[in-house]
Structure formats: structure tokens, C-alpha cells
């Protein structure tokens, strides 16, 4: 099958790398950023272009959510399958007369970090059964976790990821702000953070909850509120309230 | 040095285990729960008692925050050093005529989970230099990260841990609620969560922030708000607001 990847960012790079490792040939990697494309092309041995989009059977659009609609217009071919890789866009955002689909890898990608691709879940949505089989097969070659998912479900997947990944990272930022203010190295908290995450590999997070809110330890909760201000105080109150509600305290 | 551990919960067990591994003898493990004490005693080869507290130079009180004050009264000896292991209590909570101190390990302990003790930070507070040296030396034998810390600082350490550990776990609970509601296995999010945490071992969480709020993607933020209700919606709004404030969006 002839596959072209559109984009030169982290998702494009890692998908290209995952396919290459499994000896799935890519016909081209196409995008706007010449230096990024050149780098990927040299590392993975895939032809690249910034102006001549190759003819292919499958196009995977790996660009930021805001650019998907625009870039989708450059594919003028009708007899082909085009997939975007976004968790938050309907497949109908794609503007062309081709068959539309979504090929969503649930992971946070950094260029420099190597990943175990087989653990990355892929969520697939297509217009018909045949396209579904094509994309499910493609994803299965790099990942062990491939699921069909319509846009409605994909929205919730992305929303779950926002809580479990984006919001968690922001809590780390606010935590570091507190420790920085007291000259306590944030590194000191990494073993605790690692253990917190390790735990939920084994038990339901609901059963793993610890801390003053779930103990309803008002003395400590009040002491903490006096140490905080601004957004951190708002977060403190909101999450404690949510913990108390969850455990009916 | 003669050391007695008071308590039979997770902190007591892990401290006893860490000392035993480093061939630091414990004179006794003392507590109320016979079956827990017996189990620890058999595994680690430490004498235990529920009624006869042994004479010692150092007592480490490893019980829940609420029980520290009460249990501290059973030590009637004056010429000894008593430490509690809480992040949220002043050393003055200890009720006796002995020398008071705090010996706070920053970790979340589960009985069944083995831990790399050398990575656990210990925070020490004492009444005088000599006691400080004793506890710093003791902690250094099991951990590579030992720091002095008064109560004021310890409060902030605990508060940082609440954000980075307790609150993060609650976000996992709320995330799982969302994925459960759509029959998406929460396991699918574990590689993403692992990667989120792995990242902050290498870069500042502030630089690692991703997601719709930091991109100020109002279309997605509004769509997400319509999918949420109750406490999760409140958390969604509060954290997005905090992200926007942090990045001045």
C-alpha cells in the first residue's frame, strides 16, 4: 500500500519511525518545514517534499488541530483514504472528495524521546468497513491496542487524556512553584510521583486515594489554605471539594 | 544505638525494613495491632510488644497524624530522643519530657510494594545539633537524600506532595470516571500517564505543558465543558483558568 505522511512535527516523526521499524514503506513525508522534513527523511530514509504531494492510497495528516482543515485541501485526488490524527476533530473536518477517516494515537509525543510504540492505543474511525479494515490492520502492525471509535467516543478519550495528562502536568507545575518558593529541590518529589503513578498500574485510583481531604482532616486542610493564594488556592479548594464529594465526606 | 519503632502500619513496616536491610538493629517494634506486629516481627526478625515498651535511646513514632499526640505519652523516659514521622505536625505535638524531633520520609507507602529506600528524601528537625547529627546519620544510612527542615518548611513540603501526589491521584480517579462512562479501558491511558511523568524527570513541567488550555483553543474548551458536569466540570474550569493565568493567555 502506498502511504504518505503529511506533517513534520512530533506525531509525523514518531508515526513515520514506527512504520519504518516495522518495514512498512512510506512513499513520502510531505510538509512545510524543510529542515524538519530533511532531518526525518535522513534518519528514516523516506523521500520528502514541500511542494509536490505524491500520489498514494492512504494519506495520514499529522499536523496541529488548527491546521488540519487547511492542509486537507491540498489532497485533490478522489480515490484515496485520508485520515487525520486528532482526538478532537470529526473526520468531516477534512475538506476533499476522498474517503475520510481518523487515525488517533493516544500518546504525548516529544521528538527526542523514544517510545514503545506497541503500547500506544490507536482509535480508528472510517466511512466504511473496507477502510476500517485497512486502518485497523495498519495500526495493528505497530500497536497491540487498536480500537474502533467514533467521534463521540473520541471526544471523551481526549477529555480523559486532558485530566490524566495535561491537568496532571499542570499540578506538577503548581507543586514545583510551591517547592521552589521554599528552595526545596523538585527532584525530591520525583520518587513520590513515580510511586503515585506506579500504584494505579495495580489498583483503582479511587482506592489509592490518600491525603488530608480523604481523611477529612480539617485542621490540616485549614492550615494548607492559609499557606496558599491565587490559582493554587482555588485548585486546592476545588479538588478537595471534589474528593469529599467522591467519598461522601 | 538502641532504636525502637512505635507503630505497625506501612511507615513502621517500611522503616523497619529499610533499617534491617542496612544491618541497623532495632531493639523493638511496639504497637497495638498484634497480628501486624507479629507479621513484621517474623519477616524482619525484630522483637515486638503490645504492652512493654523497651528502654531505648531513640524512639521513632510511625502512626497516623491523629494518634501521634496520644501515643507520644507512653514514653515516660526523659533521657531519650523521640521523633514523629509526620509532614504536618510540629515536633511540639510530642507530649513528654524527652528531646523532641521529626524524622519525615517523603513517600507514599503501601505494605505490599517494595521500594528503593535510597531515593526517599528524609527531612529532619531536632532541638539541638547533637540530635540533628544522630538523625541525619541514621537517615543517611538508608537514603541518599537527607535534609534538615523546620516545621515551617515541612508544611510546604507536605503541601507540595498534596498537589503532586494526592491531587494527581484524584485526577486519575476523575479521568477514570470519564473513560468508564464510555467503556474505554482505563489501562489504555497508562502509557500516556507514564510518559507524562517520565517527561518531568527531564524537563520543567512548565515547559512540558500541552493540551487545549495552553493553546487557548476555545473551540475545544467549550466542547469539553459541555461533556462535563458536577465536580469534574468545576475542576476543568479551575485548572484551565490556572493554566491560562500561568501562561498569561
What tens digit of pLDDT does each residue of B131-183 get? 999 999 999 999 999 999 999 999 999 999 999 999 999 999 999 999 999 99
Q: Which of A211-215, B106-110, B163-167 is predicted with the least confidence, judged by mean pLDDT? A: B106-110
Q: What was the ipTM of the complex prediction? A: 0.90
B231: closest chain A residue by CA? A242
Who among B169, B209, B232 is closest to A209 (CB)? B169
User: How many other C-beta atoms are found inside a 10 Å radius of the C-beta of residue A85?
Assistant: 22
Q: Looking at the complex, does the CB of residue A206 fall below 8 Å from at least one CB of chain B? A: yes
Q: Per-residue pLDDT tens for A194-211?
A: 999 999 999 999 999 999
d(CA B185, CA A153): 12
d(CA B238, CA A60): 35
Computed over its alpha carbons, how large is the radius of gyration of chain B?
Answer: 22
pLDDT category at A180 given cuts 50, 70, 90 is very high
How much is the pLDDT for B198? 94
pLDDT category at B112 given cuts 50, 70, 90 is confident
In the numeric block, the cell 487498536 is attached to A146
What's the average model confidence in pLDDT over B36-48?
97
Q: Which of A79-83, A176-180, A217-221 is predicted with the least confidence, judged by mean pLDDT? A: A217-221
> Which residue(s) pair with A102 in the sheet?
A84, A125
How much is the pLDDT for A114? 78
Q: Per-residue pLDDT tens for B115-135?
A: 889 999 999 999 999 999 999
CB A128, CB B178: distance < 8 Å: no
Who among B172, B206, B224 is closest to A164 (CB)? B172
Q: What does chain A come to in residues?
A: 249
Who among A66, A182, A234 is closest to B238 (CB)? A234
User: How many other C-beta atoms are found inside a 10 Å radius of the C-beta of residue B233?
Assistant: 14
pLDDT category at A111 given cuts 50, 70, 90 is confident
> How would you write A168-214 as a 3-class SS string?
HHHHHHHHHHHHHHCCCCHHHHHHHHHHHHHHHCCCCHHHHCCCCCC
d(CA A225, CA B172): 23
| String of DSSP letters for B94-157 | --SSSEEEEEEE-S---TTS---GGGS-EEEE-SSHHHHHHHHHHHHHH-S-EEE--HHHHHHH
- Which three cell numbers, joined as nine digits, stand for A219? 485542621
B161 chain-A contacts, CB cut-off 8 A = 175, 189, 192
B181 chain-A contacts, CB cut-off 8 A = 156
- Which three cell numbers, joined as nine digits, stand for B62? 510511625
B contact residues 134-153, partner A, Cβ 8 Å cutoff: 145, 147, 153
How much is the pLDDT for A121? 95
Instruction: Sketch out chain A's domains with CATH numbers.
Output: 3-149 (3.40.50.720), 154-246 (1.10.1040.20)
How much is the pLDDT for A151? 95
The distance of A70 to chain B (nearest Cα, Å) reads 17
Who among A66, A170, A234 is closest to B209 (CB)? A170
- Which three cell numbers, joined as nine digits, stand for B134? 544522630
Q: Looking at the complex, does the CB of residue B97 fall below 8 Å from at least one CB of chain A? A: no
Mean pLDDT, chain B, as a whole number? Answer: 95
Tell me whether residue A101 is exposed, middle or buried, using C-beta atoms within 10 angstroms of its C-beta: 0 to 12, 13 to 18, 19 or more. Answer: buried
CB B171, CB A167: distance < 8 Å: yes
Q: Is the pLDDT of residue B228 over 90?
A: yes
Distances (CA, A) of A73 to A17, A51, A69, B57, B218: 25, 14, 7, 78, 24
The distance of A196 to chain B (nearest Cα, Å) reads 6
Q: Is the pLDDT of residue A69 over 90?
A: yes
How much is the pLDDT for A108? 83
pLDDT category at A101 given cuts 50, 70, 90 is very high
Q: Is the pLDDT of residue B73 over 90?
A: yes
d(CA A32, CA A16): 16
Q: DSSP letter at B69?
A: H
pLDDT category at A34 given cuts 50, 70, 90 is very high
How much is the pLDDT for B108? 83
- Alpha helical stretches, state H, chain A: 10-21, 34-44, 65-72, 129-142, 151-161, 168-181, 190-200, 205-208, 218-227, 230-246
How much is the pLDDT for B67? 95
Amino acid at each position: 500500500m502506498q502511504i504518505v505522511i503529511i506533517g513534520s512535527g512530533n506525531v509525523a516523526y514518531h508515526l513515520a519511525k514506527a512504520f519504518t521499524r516495522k518495514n512498512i514503506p512510506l512513499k513520502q513525508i510531505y510538509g512545510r518545514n524543510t529542515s524538519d522534513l530533511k532531518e526525518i527523511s535522513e534518519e528514516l530514509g523516506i523521500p520528502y517534499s514541500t511542494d509536490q504531494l505524491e500520489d498514494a492510497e492512504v494519506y495520514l495528516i499529522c499536523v496541529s488541530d488548527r491546521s488540519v482543515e487547511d492542509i486537507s485541501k491540498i489532497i485533490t485526488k478522489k480515490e484515496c483514504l485520508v485520515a487525520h490524527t486528532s482526538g478532537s476533530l470529526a473526520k468531516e473536518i477534512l475538506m476533499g472528495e476522498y474517503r475520510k477517516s481518523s487515525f488517533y494515537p493516544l500518546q504525548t509525543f516529544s521528538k527526542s524521546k523514544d517510545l514503545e510504540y506497541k503500547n500506544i492505543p490507536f482509535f480508528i474511525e472510517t466511512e466504511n468497513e473496507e477502510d476500517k479494515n485497512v486502518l485497523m490492520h495498519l495500526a495493528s502492525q505497530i500497536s497491540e491496542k487498536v480500537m474502533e471509535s467514533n467521534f463521540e467516543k473520541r471526544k471523551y478519550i481526549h477529555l480523559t487524556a486532558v485530566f490524566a495528562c495535561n491537568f496532571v502536568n499542570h499540578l506538577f507545575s503548581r507543586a514545583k512553584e510551591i517547592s521552589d518558593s521554599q528552595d526545596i529541590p523538585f527532584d525530591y518529589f520525583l520518587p513520590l510521583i513515580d510511586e503515585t503513578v506506579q500504584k494505579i498500574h495495580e489498583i483503582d485510583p479511587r482506592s489509592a486515594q490518600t491525603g488530608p481531604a480523604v481523611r477529612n482532616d480539617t485542621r490540616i486542610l485549614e492550615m494548607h489554605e492559609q499557606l496558599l493564594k491565587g490559582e493554587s488556592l482555588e485548585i486546592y479548594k476545588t479538588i478537595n471539594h471534589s474528593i469529599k464529594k467522591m467519598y461522601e465526606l
